[in-house]
Amino acid sequence: MSTAMEMIVASYVKVRDRRALADLLAHRRKVLAQLQAVSGINPQNAVKAIQEELALIEAGLEEIKPPPGSLPENEWS
């Protein structure tokens, strides 16, 4: 997994920027869908890397998720 992506996610978690994490997650999901639609080449290595990044981003989102029944500090939709 990319050290750069780990640092990006850690930074967003540190500042509790849920929106940035959600945007990053949406972007990576779009990239994954595009890679899976490619024909003529084998994108398996890229697909695996994107899937690992998705797991990292989802873990970051889970880390900053407010406790059940509490009011979020920022927009949580």
CB 21 within 8 A of CB 10: no
The full set of domain ranges for the chain reads 3-64
Q: What's the whole-number average pLDDT of the chain?
A: 89
pTM: 0.80
Q: Tens place of pLDDT for every residue, the chain, 77 residues? A: 689 999 999 999 999 999 999 999 999 999 999 999 988 889 999 999 999 999 999 999 999 988 777 765 555 55
pLDDT of residue 69: 72
